[in-house]
Amino acid sequence: MTDTLKSPTRRQLLSMIGKTAGATAMYQAMTTLGFASESSFKETLDLKGAPAGATIIVLGAGLGGLTAAYELRKAGYTVKVLEFQNRGGGRSWTLNSGDEYTELGGGKVTCDFEEGNYFNGGPWRLPSNHYAVFHYCKQFGVEMQPFIQTNDRAYLHRANHFGGAPQRLGDVKSDIRGHVSELLSKAVNVGSLDRSVNTEDKEMLLEGLKGWGVLDKDYRYVTSHATSKHRGYSVYPGGGLMPNSEPSSTLPMDELLASGMWSDIYNNYTVNEHHPTMFQPVGGMGKIGDAFTRECQEMIEYNAKVTKINQDDSGVTVSYVDSNNPDGEIKTVRADWCVCNIPLTILTQIDINVSAPMKKAMAAVPYDTSYKVGLEFKRRFWEEDEWIYGGLTYTDMPITQISYPSQDMFKDGSGVLLGAYGFGATSYKFNTLTPQERIDVSLAYGKHIHPQYPKEFRAGTSVVWHRIPWTLGCYGIWSESSRDQYYDTLCSIDNRIVLAGEHCSHIPAWQEGAILSGMDAAKRLHQKAKKLG
C-alpha cells in the first residue's frame, strides 16, 4: 500500500477497488485487538424462565433497583418496588423551574428559575463508554446532546497567581506542551538521553517535539505567530484591510508551575471518564431517572419507608411505613427474593438479618459528601462577552469549578451555571451554610472570575448531599484495601438478598455503576432462583 500513499496515480487509486482479502485479515486483527470486547457491558440482558410464581421485592427506585426490577419482570418474575420518596430515579435527578425540597435541618431549597432552565444536583455528564446508560436511554427514548467537558476557551484560575486573572485552558495546555517540548529537546540535543533513545528515534522525537510543542528552529517555545496559530492570537487574523493579527504572549514556565494549574489538566481533562465525546440528556439528567421510573411505573409503591428486612429460608419479609407518617401503620410485603438498592448510609440504620460478614461490608463503605450550587443569570454573559460555549473553569477558590451549560447555546436570555461543585473537606463546610448563604458565597467567589455576576444574577439553588434525607451522602467511597476486604462480600447474594447500586460497582458515583450493578444483581439472583426452582 505504501506506493499509493503520498500521491497515487489514477491507476493506483483504482487498483484499490476490488482488493478485499486485506479487509478480512484486518477485521480479524481488529476483533482480536478487542474492538468488540472492550466493555464490561457486552450485550443486553435477556433473562428468561423465572420459576412459576416467583416474586421479587426491590427496595429503592434508584437506577440500580429499577434496572433489576425491569430485567427481572421481563424474565417473568412478579416484582414490587418500594421507594421512600414520592418519585423514582434516585440521584438521577434534575431540579426544574418551580421545584423545591426540604433538606435535613429543615432548610427549604427552592429553584425559582425561568421556565425551561434546570439544574442537575447530582450526575450531569456521560462518558461515551458508559454503554449501559446509553443502551437503556436509547431503549427508553431519552434523547442525548453533547456535553462539552473540554472547552479550550474556558479558564483555569488561581486566586494568587497571574494577578488573579483567569487563563484560557487552551493557552495553558499549549504552553505546557511547549515548555515540556523545549526542555526535552534541549536534553536530547545535548545527548543526555542517548542511552534511552537511539539515533533514528532521536530525529523523529525532535521532529515530533518541534511540531507538538510548536518550537522555533532553535527548539525554543516563544511568543510568535507560529505559537499563536495554536494557542490563539491577541488580535485574530481578519478580512480585507482590518488590523494585522498580533500574537498572544506565552505564559512563563515558572509561573505556570508555581500556579499549580497543570494539575487541573491531568485531574480533569486527560482522565478517560472525561474524554470527548461526552453527553447529557436533553432537558436534564433527571430525564434518565424519569424514563426508568416511567418504564417501571406499575411496580413502584412510593412514600414507603423501609423499617425492617427479615429473610428466612423461604423468602424475605419487608416492613415499611408511610414516609410522610412514619409513626403510622406498619405494612409488610413478602417475596421470594430481595434486591436492595438502599444507600448504605441508610441501610446500616435498618433492622436487617444478613450474615455477619455482609453486615461488616455494609458498614465498611463511608459516603463522600459533595455540594453543587446552580446560579441563574439574566443573560448568557459567558457566551456573549467571553465566547465560552460549554466547558468548565477550574479554580482553587472553594467553589472549585464553574460549568457553562452545553444546552441552549447562542440563545438570548437567561442561563444557568453550575457555580460551585466540590468534594471533601470544603464540602463539609459548605454543608454548614444555609441555602441562601451557599448562593451568596458562590456569587462572592465567582465574581473574581466573572465580574458580571453581581449585575446579572437572577436566582440560585443548591444540593448538599449530606443533607439529602434519602441518601445522607453522595456516593460510596472505596479504598484499595476496603475493596480487597469487603467488595465481593457486599456484592454476593446473602441467602435471599442481593444489594445493588453505585456502591456495589467499580464505577462509584456514576449512573453506569448503578445500572451495571443492577444488571449483574438481576442476573445472579435469577441464576440462583432458577437453580433453587
Residues 356-415 that bind a copy of itself (CB under 8 A): 385-387, 389-391, 396-398, 406, 409-410
| Options 49, 105, 164, 326; binder of a copy of itself; rule CB under 8 A | 164
Whole-angstrom distance, CA of residue 480 vs CA of residue 339? 26
Beta-strand pair 167-168/401-404: unpaired
Tell the smallest beta-carbon distance from residue 68 to a copy of itself (Å).
10
Whole-angstrom distance, CA of residue 272 vs CA of residue 276? 9
Q: Which is nearer to a copy of itself, 313 or 410 (CB)?
A: 410
Whole-angstrom distance, CA of residue 407 vs CA of residue 120? 13
Tell the smallest beta-carbon distance from residue 275 to a copy of itself (Å).
4
Does 222 sit near a copy of itself (CB under 8 A)?
no
Tell the smallest beta-carbon distance from residue 319 to a copy of itself (Å).
26
427 touches 477 (CB < 8 A)? no
Residues 432-461 that bind a copy of itself (CB under 8 A): 432-433, 437, 440-441, 443-445, 447-448, 451, 453-454
Does 265 sit near a copy of itself (CB under 8 A)?
yes
Does 481 sit near a copy of itself (CB under 8 A)?
no
Q: Which residues contact 417 (CB under 8 A, 6 or more apart)?
A: 374, 375, 377, 382, 402, 403, 404, 405, 446
Q: Which is nearer to a copy of itself, 323 or 400 (CB)?
A: 400
Q: Which is nearer to a copy of itself, 85 or 427 (CB)?
A: 427
Here the cell at position 458 is 437572577
Q: Could you check whether the bond before residue 277 is cis, i.e. omega within 30 degrees of 0?
A: yes
Q: Which is nearer to a copy of itself, 27 or 532 (CB)?
A: 27
Stretch that binds a copy of itself, among 95-103, 227-235, 348-356, 469-477 (CB under 8 A): 227-235
Q: How many CB atoms within 10 Å of residue 230?
A: 16
Here the cell at position 244 is 494585522
Q: Number of residues interacting with a copy of itself: please give it, by CB under 8 A.
A: 161
Whole-angstrom distance, CA of residue 445 vs CA of residue 164? 12
Residues 269-328 that bind a copy of itself (CB under 8 A): 270-272, 275-277, 279
> Of 179, 221, 149, 68, which Cα lies nearest the Cα of 391?
149
Q: How many CB atoms within 10 Å of residue 303?
A: 16
262 touches 169 (CB < 8 A)? no
Residues 485-504 that bind a copy of itself (CB under 8 A): 488, 491-492, 500, 504
| Options 51, 76, 101, 197; binder of a copy of itself; rule CB under 8 A | 197
| Options 112, 114, 152, 368; binder of a copy of itself; rule CB under 8 A | 152
Does 520 sit near a copy of itself (CB under 8 A)?
yes
